[in-house]
Amino acid sequence: MSYHHVTFLNNQEEVRALLAKIGVDDGAYPFLLPKGVYRHIVLKAIPCRVANIIKQEMLSKGGEAAVSKEALYGEGHTDVLLMGTLKQYRLLVKKLRLQPLGLKQIAGEIEKLLDNLHPATRELELCHGRSLQLGKKTLVMGILNVTPDSFSDGGRYTDIEQAVKHALEMREQGADIIDIGGVSTRPGAQLASLQEELARVLPVVKRLAYEDMILSIDTFRGTVAAACLDAGAHLINNIGGLVLDEGLLPVLVESKAPVVLMHNRLQINAGKPYQDLIADIIHELDIMIKETTAAGFPEDKIIIDPGLGFGKTPAENRLVIKRLGSFKSLGKPILIGASRKGFIGHSLDVKVDQRLEGSLAVLAAAILNGADIIRVHDVKESYRAAKMIDLIKNENG
């Protein structure tokens, strides 16, 4: 009986495990590991003259490169698809660094993209002396909506005692973070006033600050963020792209509280069509990152969220999950909030209270494709699913 089979190796650790299983000499590892991982990189809007140089250099290293047919005439711009092993990219970067026409900068960008794909496990420092370990396991963020009109659980936890009880339950069920929100962001919802949001959120934060749990505040308002951080919250989950309230960024810079930057075409740039869905989202997130760090905020305290449901069709939401690995290009931890969302209901033709299975399916795909944090309503089920997926994802052999 033949046991020949195709195998799929996603990184050098998986290549190393297979080499060890075969019994390859240790001295060969440095040569084989970079050859065992194949990567695709898309360079956007490269001048045709420069693109042709990149193409020829990549081909000379044994890799592949594709440009538009118009690029042959040397005018305008073209996207470039690079295809090669890590070794071929290393040789390409080395050669491009020696050339003019902006190729040295492009070489650095290619090198950074490859490095960002496999970040090391690290500690994320929070406010009030707390921290989270990123990369060791998928972190679970439990949703605590203290609103009367959220799409899934509006009105259930507007009472302080009920909210505190639910937060404690989620912690026991496996939540690493409790995300407290006082404003519904569902399509068509009327935004609560500043006073309403503070009245809903702040008393809950003050009560939970005495418990052993990490608190995130789901807000776009600087005043709410500042008050909650002072009361004991540890990080900010911001859906507003730092433009719905210009007062938020100074609060972040002063407090150094980690922040989730979410892509949002529901409240921001509503109706603006996508030219290239994944590239457009990455570009807009990158703009937010650069604006945040330019103000003096530490880059290593930024988390990104591609914003499922915020100005995206069901098909676009599914594609974001499928291509989630592309967002690792930004070199930031990725948060995914898919729990019970409308695109799941649309895809499966089920109401909001029947979306658990769909939510868990999206969760599984997201973790396998690179999500670091999952934001969920159903903590017990999601925690167990994430733990199982982590075990599968981290197996070598």
In tens, the pLDDT along 197-251 reads: 999 999 999 999 999 999 999 999 999 999 999 999 999 999 888 888 999 999 9
Domain assignment present for residue 291? The answer is yes
Domain assignment present for residue 26? The answer is no
Does 340 have pLDDT greater than 80? yes
What is the chain's mean pLDDT, rounded? Answer: 92
Residue 157: predicted pLDDT: 57
Domain assignment present for residue 260? The answer is yes
Q: What percent of the chain has pLDDT over 90?
A: 80
Same domain, 68 and 152: no
The answer to whether 341 is a known catalytic residue is: yes
Nearest to 114 by CA among 46, 40, 50: 40
State the Cα–Cα distance between residues 107 and 89, nearest whole angstrom.
9
What is the average per-residue pLDDT within 258-268? Answer: 89
Does 22 have pLDDT greater than 80? yes
Residue 187: predicted pLDDT: 65
Give the residue, 333 or 11, on which the prediction is more confident: 333
CATH number at residue 185: 3.20.20.20
Length of the chain, in residues: 397
Same domain, 92 and 226: no
State the Cα–Cα distance between residues 60 and 199, nearest whole angstrom.
64
Domain assignment present for residue 65? The answer is yes
Nearest to 107 by CA among 163, 156, 58, 158: 58
Same domain, 292 and 335: yes
Does 94 have pLDDT greater than 60? yes
Contact predicate 341/309, CB 8 Å: yes
Same domain, 134 and 105: no
- How many domains are there within the chain? 2
CATH number at residue 100: 3.30.1370
Q: Distance between alpha carbon 237 and the CA centroid of its chain, in Å? A: 13
Q: Which domain holds residue 255?
A: 122-393
Domain boundary among the residues 63, 96, 116 is at: 116
User: What is the distance in angstroms between the CA of the first residue and the CA of the last residue of the chain?
Assistant: 21
Active-site pick, 55, 87, 200, 375: 375
Residue 120: predicted pLDDT: 78
Q: Are strands 64-66 and 77-85 parallel, antiparallel or unpaired?
A: antiparallel
State the Cα–Cα distance between residues 142 and 375, nearest whole angstrom.
6
Give the residue, 395 or 78, on which the prediction is more confident: 78
Does 119 have pLDDT greater than 90? no
Same domain, 47 and 79: yes
Does the pTM of the predicted model rise above 0.85?
A: yes
Does 149 have pLDDT greater than 70? no
Residue 155: predicted pLDDT: 53
Same domain, 249 and 224: yes
State the Cα–Cα distance between residues 164 and 203, nearest whole angstrom.
10
Give the residue, 240 or 371, on which the prediction is more confident: 371
Domain boundary among the residues 116, 138, 168 is at: 116
Residue 4: predicted pLDDT: 86
> 243 is written with which tokens?
């433009």
Same domain, 217 and 336: yes
Q: Which residue has 């009109």 as its token pair?
A: 149
Domain assignment present for residue 225? The answer is yes
Same domain, 283 and 248: yes
Domain boundary among the residues 97, 116, 135 is at: 116
Residue 177's pLDDT band (boundaries 50, 70, 90)?
Answer: very high
Does 188 have pLDDT greater than 80? no
Active-site pick, 328, 340, 341, 355: 341
What is the average per-residue pLDDT within 371-390? Answer: 97
Same domain, 112 and 128: no
Residue 397: predicted pLDDT: 63
What is the average per-residue pLDDT within 375-384? Answer: 97
Count of helices and strands (H, E) across the chain? 14, 13
Domain assignment present for residue 380? The answer is yes
* Residue-wise pLDDT tens digits, 153-176: 545 656 889 999 999 999 999 999
Name the E strands within the chain.
38-47, 64-66, 77-85, 122-125, 131-134, 139-145, 177-181, 214-218, 235-238, 259-262, 302-305, 335-336, 373-376
Same domain, 250 and 370: yes
Same domain, 286 and 220: yes
Same domain, 252 and 267: yes
Residue 269's pLDDT band (boundaries 50, 70, 90)?
Answer: confident
> 191 is written with which tokens?
């935004």
At a CB cut-off of 8 Å and minimum separation 6, what does 119 contact?
A: 134, 135, 328, 331
Give the residue, 73 or 377, on which the prediction is more confident: 377
Residue 369: predicted pLDDT: 95
Q: Which residues pair with 178 in a beta bridge?
A: 142, 215
